[in-house]
Amino acid sequence: MSRVQVIEQDGKPVFYVVPADLWERLRAAAEEAEDIADLVRFDREDDGLRFPAAVALAIADGVPCLRAWREHRGMTLQALADAAGISAPYISQIEGGKRAGTTATLKKLAAALGLPLAALTA
């Protein structure tokens, strides 16, 4: 292994001088360790929610989240209303941004769409 130079002040190490090749190996190892720690954290915190590209792109284009998911599922406004037990005009108001929708309502809509609540509130 390469020789490491220790610079002391008052009898205590204050600097370590390492050859460039050793420094590069240490830096690469540290970056890899950080990447592995990130992957472990991502796996631990993953809620499993995935947005299909069509939904993500629609939302990015300004389509309300509920409408993007409804259309992705191929449901009409009335079909979603029937499945969720909520009036179509109320859903239309939520999609149009005129009403926010209560948590209970959003839970019903999410269930009717086969989604976790987080998919409609993300």
CB 15 within 8 A of CB 7: yes
Tell me the domain boundaries of the chain: 5-45, 53-121
pLDDT of residue 49: 86
pLDDT tops 60 at residue 1: no
Q: What are the angstrom distances between the C-alpha of 117 and each of 32, 58, 83, 102? A: 35, 19, 16, 12
pLDDT tens readout for residues 73-113: 999 999 999 999 999 999 999 999 999 999 999 999 999 99
> How much of the chain is in helix, strand and coil states, percent to nearest 5?
60, 10, 30
pLDDT tens readout for residues 15-72: 999 999 999 999 999 999 999 999 999 899 887 888 999 999 999 999 999 999 999 9
CATH, domain 53-121, list 3.40.50.880, 1.10.260.40, 3.40.50.10490, 1.10.10.410: 1.10.260.40
pTM for this prediction: 0.65
